[in-house]
Chain A
Amino acid sequence: MAAAAAFFGRVGAYAYFVGDFVVAVRRHGVPWRLVLQEAYSIGVRSLPILLIIAGFVGTNLALQGYFAFKPLGGSRLVGMFVSLAGVRELAPIIAAAMVAAKAGTEMASQIGVMRIREQIDALEVMAVNPMAWIIAPRLVGIMLVLPALTVISTFMMVGAGLLVSVVQLGVPGEIFLELASQGISAPDFLYGQVKALIFGLIICTVSCYFGFTCERGPEGVGKATNQAVVTSAVICVVLNYFLSEVFYGGAH
């Protein structure tokens, strides 16, 4: 029971934190000149790892789809499988997971260090609202770059799937591309963008929450970073199911 009580206590504290943040932004505004800087550091620094991971996920999707449909005589459907699974599900969630692992952990540990070195208190002494100053640019930045990263990871995933299908599995490239474009439609891309925006919101607020509530000492920073990535990944994956159910669940 104590663990459950502590858990709900954390959920409540997080809700208060987000409420405080909204109030702070309404009162103090967003420091726009920091936004591009944050967007650059979140997007560009997450890009190389995202490209590598999305590429390997695409290759595995192609292997999976090929072997799953082969017994039905549908091994050529691999293109449709890769594009459907890639565009709808995996590209948004992989981009979100990598940004949580790279940028989210960085946010949590930077803010945690600011907290324990009392730099956040120093900001308040200088009459700068720390929530508006620290979180708002990161939030706007992540919501600018995460949809873009999702598009990039979609192309990387389908491209890697195409490469493996043609080179390793011997599926003709034209058939792959034709079925890939049949499997999806324009709204699928749009829903992926909506997912990316929601994931960005979650990753940024959760990571900043753990950074702001960081405990003293080096263990405190380590723990905050650890909890930030686990919590935001779990919330994103669970939300992903519900979003997919809403966007695609009624389709058949």
Chain B
Amino acid sequence: MSAPPPTAPAPAAPPLPTAAPAASAPLLSMAPMADNLAAIGRFGVFAGQVAARALRRPFFWGPLLAHTWVTSVRCLLPVVAVTTPFGMVIALEGLEIFGLFGAQRMLSSLVSVAVLRELSPVLASVLIAAQGGSSCAAELGAMRIKEEIDATEVMAVDGIQLHVVPRVLALTIACPMLNVVGSFSGLAGGWFTAVVLKGEKSGIFMANLWALATPMDVWGGAIKTTVFGAVIGLIAAYHGYYATGGAAGVGRAVNDTVVHSVLVFITFNYLLTSALFAGATP
């Protein structure tokens, strides 16, 4: 969370083509740590504002629907294009490791647990951060730079309420929906490798698909991705809404959005996996 504060002066002119970017300070010095702590605090305040305004009239239903639709459609292809090959890779490696003790028939149990619990939620969220989150930051950043957000406020419409709340809610809604699509395409990828390419029996694959997976895995994936969607939306909106420094600032906001949201939800993911699934498995 090292975005410059909203009041910070515009950064110096962008580097010459040859100059190394000088945006980040050395890793272990105290000043950036204090800056980062301050940025986390500002992010908390921003998240509180968004939450408060999400519950207050007026509700902008039209923008909410439009953003949900656009985000889902935009992210659909990348999510499918990434979860399918990953399901195929899991099947490829799983066949090898189960082949060690002649238990290839258990392959689909591993594939379904891996896809439902981890792969689909995490990969779908990474792609949604890269596609939906970063385009949310880019749109908000461009609106900030072109002073459209100020224009909104001059017209006595709350900028956060009109521009930020629908986008954050849209990502929160779209993320679990895309996770369902990602789960299906991951399982389909695993089935394709095992049955079509490697000649396992389709009936055995289907029969063992639910041997280890439980409804809790499906619900756990849905809970995880809802949390991840809200995190992505808030981080993207924070970086975009407080973008400074012209076109370069928008690029930086997009960059920070992807990096920070992946960082935060990979960390959350370990904690959520331990909390949701550790006790549930027989």
Partners in one complex: yes
Give the secondary structure class of B's interface.
Answer: helix
In the assembled complex, which residues on chain A have CB atoms less than 8 Å from the CB atom of B93? 84-85, 88-89, 244, 248
Bound-complex Cα distance A248 to B81 (A): 21
One of B127, B247, B282 near A113 (C-beta < 8 A): B247
Q: Is the beta-carbon distance between B247 and A237 smaller than 8 angstroms?
A: no
In the assembled complex, which residues on chain A have CB atoms less than 8 Å from the CB atom of B146? 218
Q: Is the beta-carbon distance between B266 and A101 smaller than 8 angstroms?
A: no
Bound-complex Cα distance A135 to B159 (A): 40
User: B262-282 toward A: CB 8 Å interface, digit per residue (1/0)?
Assistant: 110011011001100110011
User: B1-31 toward A: CB 8 Å interface, digit per residue (1/0)?
Assistant: 0000000000000111110110010010000
Q: Is the beta-carbon distance between A105 and B142 smaller than 8 angstroms?
A: no
One of A38, A52, A114 near B267 (C-beta < 8 A): A52
Q: Is the beta-carbon distance between B85 and A238 smaller than 8 angstroms?
A: yes
In the assembled complex, which residues on chain B have CB atoms less than 8 Å from the CB atom of A197? none
One of A68, A77, A240, A248 near B114 (C-beta < 8 A): A68
Bound-complex Cα distance A169 to B281 (A): 13
Q: Is the beta-carbon distance between B251 and A108 smaller than 8 angstroms?
A: yes
Q: Is the beta-carbon distance between A67 and B250 smaller than 8 angstroms?
A: no
Bound-complex Cα distance A53 to B282 (A): 28
- Among the stretches A15-23, A145-153, A198-206, A224-232, the one at the interface with B is A224-232
Contact A222 to B14, CB < 8 A, known contacts A80-B97, A85-B93, A240-B85: no
Say whether A70 faces chain B, with CB atoms less than 8 Å apart: yes
Bound-complex Cα distance A71 to B18 (A): 57
Q: Which bucket holds chain B's interface residue count? A: 35 or more
Bound-complex Cα distance A183 to B24 (A): 40
Say whether B212 faces chain A, with CB atoms less than 8 Å apart: yes
Contact A40 to B270, CB < 8 A, known contacts A110-B251, A221-B250, A248-B96: no
Contact A230 to B78, CB < 8 A, known contacts A67-B281, A77-B97: yes
Q: Is the beta-carbon distance between B92 and A244 smaller than 8 angstroms?
A: yes
Q: Is the beta-carbon distance between B259 and A49 smaller than 8 angstroms?
A: yes
Say whether B231 faces chain A, with CB atoms less than 8 Å apart: no
Q: Is the beta-carbon distance between B85 and A241 smaller than 8 angstroms?
A: yes
Pick the 6 closest A-B CB pairs, nearest first.
Answer: A222-B138, A109-B251, A241-B85, A105-B255, A225-B254, A218-B142
For the A-B complex with A70-B281, A225-B134 known, give 20 more contacts whose Cβ atoms are closer than 8 Å. Answer: A37-B20, A53-B266, A60-B118, A60-B270, A72-B103, A84-B93, A105-B134, A105-B251, A114-B17, A130-B17, A133-B18, A217-B142, A222-B137, A222-B251, A233-B126, A234-B81, A237-B86, A238-B81, A241-B92, A251-B96
Q: Give the interface of A toward B (CB within 8 A).
A: 34, 37-38, 40-41, 45, 48-49, 52-53, 56-57, 59-60, 63-64, 67-68, 70-72, 74, 77, 80-81, 84-85, 88-89, 97-98, 101-102, 105-106, 108-110, 112-114, 116-117, 119-120, 123, 130, 133-134, 168, 183, 217-226, 229-230, 233-234, 237-238, 240-241, 244-245, 248-249, 251-252
Q: Give the interface of B toward A (CB within 8 A).
A: 14-18, 20-21, 24, 27, 78, 81-82, 85-86, 88-89, 92-93, 95-97, 99, 101, 103, 106, 109-110, 113-114, 117-118, 126-127, 130-131, 134-135, 137-139, 141-142, 145-146, 212, 246-255, 258-259, 262-263, 266-267, 269-270, 273-274, 277-278, 281-282
